[in-house]
Amino acid sequence: MAKLIPKSVIILVVLVSAYLLFNTMRQNSSEDSSLFSRDPFIDAKQLGKKAGPNYQMLFPNDHFEHTEFDIEWWYLTANLVSEQNEIYGLQWTLFRFRNPSTEETNSEWGSDQLYMAHASIHSIDEHFFSEKYARRKLGNAGNNADPFTLFIDNWEWKNNIGTNNLLPASLTFDAVSESGKKIRASLNLSNNGPLVKHGEDGFSVKSPNGKHASHYYSAPFIHMTGLFEIQDKTSEDVSSFRVLGDAWYDHEWTSQLLDNDTLGWDWMSLHLDNGDKLMAFRMRLDNQNDFVTGSYISKDGALTTLSPNDISLLPITFTRVNGKDMPLAWQLSIESKNMDLSIESVKTDQWNHASIPYYEGMVSISGTQGGKGFLELTGY
């Protein structure tokens, strides 16, 4: 956890407590691994509810948390451009973890639901990143209804017409650069297409033997507008500018990714110039072949689920990032779509130096289609 300077004894207690809470899940995590590639629960009997094909995904109910599952995330990425025609990559994620080693009690501290959130904004020259932790019962993280809200402390996603639907919504958060600059994001999100249920009606299989799976849907047609405000560490002056662009939202929950067979995964969400959308995913497993799946979504919202026989996703070039060889250039082919894409990171160093580190950043697309998108690499 990044070292923070406490402003009061209360803040110090909260930070230390949060560290101890997450330490059980971080015990195998380091700069050489990831939470998503190690099992935080020693006793298999403590594993949560399994994702299964008979689950009926319903909205707006399934926008909310699923506390019987071990891990869940609400994940937003966006490719933005400023008034000055400068590009920005944005990520905002709320994670929920079920911690079965902690029993629910009447105490505010006795919660088995833990939260972590990441906020990241990349320009070509700078990176702003912040991380937060919370317990559910303390009331400073989770979901609220009427209207639908995701929150942790002062970071908030909120439906802005008073309903329990995901969108339209406002999103506000802040982050800090290594040089001490602060950025405040105030954003509006509108939806220009349907929600997409990946796999079989939202049941997404991620390994050859079907052992790894999740419930997974996306909102890939989000249009984002808003304001960035940047304050320098040594000045009270604030510079502000407007941004707009395309965003992609994922919501996923499972108890079947956090085991010792999981080495990590590679994920990308792509906005194609013709208006179509594409999600591709490669699961890297111990003693098993990599498992590649995806979803092709046409601009009218029609979904084509891509099985391993339908899609080829191959790393082409590895680049040294933060002492690791990372696949930052890819070749993606879909024969049925006559599609052959080259996908490359826009900026080499898009590493999130979080307590659970991983790569997340902007990519460009060329080949039979142009476009832009996001790449996530875990477990390296």
130 pLDDT band, cuts 50/70/90, is very high
Q: What is the pLDDT of residues 187-241, one digit of tens each?
A: 999 999 999 999 999 999 999 989 999 999 999 999 999 999 999 988 888 999 9
Q: How far apart (Å, rounded) are the C-alpha atoms in residues 196 and 219?
A: 6
Q: Is residue 2 part of a domain?
A: no
- pLDDT value of position 99: 82
Answer whether residue 49 is part of any domain. yes
Residue 65 lies in a domain: yes
Residue 75 to residue 77: CA distance in whole angstroms: 7
Tokens for 159, please give them: 């439906």
- Tell me whether residue 1 is in a domain: no
Reported as half-sphere exposure (CB side, CA atoms, 13 A), residue 188 has a value of 7
- End-to-end Cα, the chain, rounded Å: 19
More confident residue, 313 or 262: 313
In this predicted structure, the answer to whether residue 358 has a pLDDT above a threshold of 80 is yes
| Tens-place pLDDT, residues 84-95 | 999 999 999 999
Residue 4 lies in a domain: no
Q: What is the pLDDT of residues 240-269, one digit of tens each?
A: 999 999 999 999 999 988 778 889 999 999
- Residue 109's pLDDT band (cuts 50, 70, 90): low
Whether 3 maps to a domain, the answer reads: no
Question: Does the pLDDT value for residue 100 go beyond 90?
Answer: no
Task: In whole angstroms, give the CA distance from residue 369 to residue 343.
Answer: 11
Amino acid at 320: R
Number of domain units in the chain: 1
Domain that holds residue 322: 9-377
The CATH number assigned to the domain holding 147 equals 2.40.370.10
Q: Identify whether 310 is part of a domain.
A: yes
List pLDDT tens digits, range 20-67.
344 444 444 444 444 444 444 445 557 899 999 999 999 999 999 999
**DSSP class per residue in 33-85:** --GGGS---SSGGG--PPP-TT----TTGGGS--TTSSEEEEEEEEEEEETTS
For residue 24, give every residue at least 6 positions away whose Cβ sits within 8 Å of its Cβ, in sequence order, or none.
40, 99, 101
- Determine, yes or no, domain membership for 152: yes
